[in-house]
Amino acid sequence: MVTPIRRRVRALARRVRTARALARAFKSKRHPILAQIVPIRRCNLSCTYCNEFDRVSAPVPTERMLDRIDRLAALGTTMIDFSGGEPMLHPDLDALIGRVRRHGILAGLLTNGYLLNPDRIERLNGAGLDRLQISVDNVTPDDVSKKSLRVLDKKLQLLAEHAEFDVNINTVLGADVRHPADALLIARRALALGFGTSVGLIHDGSGRLLPFDAVRAGVFREIAALNRTFYSHAHDTVYQQNLIAGQPNDWRCRAGARYLYVCEDGLVHLCSQQRGYPGVPLDRYGAEHLEREYSSPKPCAPFCTVSCVHRVSLLDDLREQPLDTLERLVEAHRRRGQAPPVTVRLLTWLFVTSSHRERFRRMALRAFRLG
């Protein structure tokens, strides 16, 4: 079992590395912030809403995966998440995570959690994993999904005992979700175990999110209120509240530039929902592609539910229009009757409104060895 002190030390080191990655993202728009990479398309489950898995694919050869990680590092990527299929089915996942960390990149894992056991968690600790996310879809398994709290709760307890990395439990809500109250129960369980929690919105087969009824909207609001992280909370309020009301979001998607999705064939796609474009091999993806996708509008943006791309793109809004964007986020927080956290007010003063803001910016860049 991991000691609380060891866990705290690793968490602190991770916060510093995350802050450094964010500082780099603010300093330059010419590199990806987050890449999701698929080491295997196969999955050990078959959720009926999922279009991201098959039952037959072999793992991508390890050498090929290591080359792809090296290429993402050469592009300046600051965070790499392994997704799938089920990435834990890759036999050399630990070596892949180790390679990410040797480049100084933050390493994440999106998993269904079924293959976790104490030994596997210790190996992920040893490899240097920074964060792990499990989506828990319901409380009791049904014909749609077996990613269920009843099945996974033991795995979550193991994570609480052994993991040295951050854990986030993602719940889901959508017009087709049969038991919306499950999401609230799952979110509360995640917090009780000391994990983070988020909520994903499930769209229908056409990619469109149907407006929520009053029950689902109420559950969403309760879960959002549990989330104490300002950035996530503000994001949920600004973007997801619009979507669940059936309203579009007015935002600039930076997929293909600040966010890359690299499939098992080594091709770069905008995201998991827009596979096929640009479809350029990663080893030929370069500055001109990053530049083009940074500023090209995406027609799917208004009703997009891909939260990680919202959050990454929001960083660029903060860099390019800091006052307007901060005002939007803080206002979203206020609408909930909550004062923005002290840290946010302090950062706003330091880097946006203070007459010494240029000096503070230079000092921050020097502190992160980016100046």
Between CA 47 and CA 294 the distance in angstroms is 33
Between CA 256 and CA 111 the distance in angstroms is 23
- The separation between the first and the last C-alpha atoms of the chain, rounded to the nearest angstrom, is 40
Q: Is 276 helix (H, G, I), strand (E, B) or coil?
A: coil
Among 39, 85, 108, 180, binds ligand SF4 (CB under 6 A): 85
* String of contacts with ligand SF4 for each residue 88-117, x by CB under 6 A: ------------------------x-----
| Residue 66 touching ligand SF4 (CB under 6 A) | no
Q: 284 exposed, middle or buried (CB, 10 Å; 0-12, 13-18, 19+)?
A: exposed
Cβ closer to ligand SF4: 45 or 367? Answer: 45
In 3D space, the residue among 222, 150, 196 whose CA is nearest the CA of residue 307 turns out to be 196
Q: Give the tokens for residue 362.
A: 């230079």
Q: Is 88 helix (H, G, I), strand (E, B) or coil?
A: helix
Between CA 110 and CA 105 the distance in angstroms is 16
Q: Is 164 helix (H, G, I), strand (E, B) or coil?
A: coil
Beta carbon of residue 163, minimum distance to ligand SF4 (angstroms, whole number): 19
* String of contacts with ligand SF4 for each residue 143-182, x by CB under 6 A: ----x-----------------------------------
| Residue 184 touching ligand SF4 (CB under 6 A) | no
Beta carbon of residue 15, minimum distance to ligand SF4 (angstroms, whole number): 27
Count of alpha carbons within 13 angstroms of residue 79, beta-carbon side: 25
Beta carbon of residue 155, minimum distance to ligand SF4 (angstroms, whole number): 13
> What Rg do the C-alpha atoms of the chain give, in angstroms?
20
Which segment (54-62, 66-74, 80-88, 214-222) binds ligand SF4 by CB under 6 A? 80-88
Note whether 80 and 261 are within 8 A (CB).
no
* String of contacts with ligand SF4 for each residue 198-237, x by CB under 6 A: ----------------------------------------
Residues 250-269 that bind ligand SF4 (CB under 6 A): 253, 255
Note whether 184 and 87 are within 8 A (CB).
no
Which segment (38-46, 61-69, 90-98, 116-124) binds ligand SF4 by CB under 6 A? 38-46
| Residue 138 touching ligand SF4 (CB under 6 A) | no
Q: Is 135 helix (H, G, I), strand (E, B) or coil?
A: strand
| Residue 248 touching ligand SF4 (CB under 6 A) | no
Among 72, 234, 271, 329, binds ligand SF4 (CB under 6 A): 271
Judged by CB under 6 A, the number of residues near ligand SF4 is: 24
Provide the binding-site residues for ligand SF4, judged by CB under 6 A: 43, 45-47, 50, 52-53, 84-86, 112, 147, 253, 255, 270-271, 273-274, 298, 300-301, 304, 306, 309
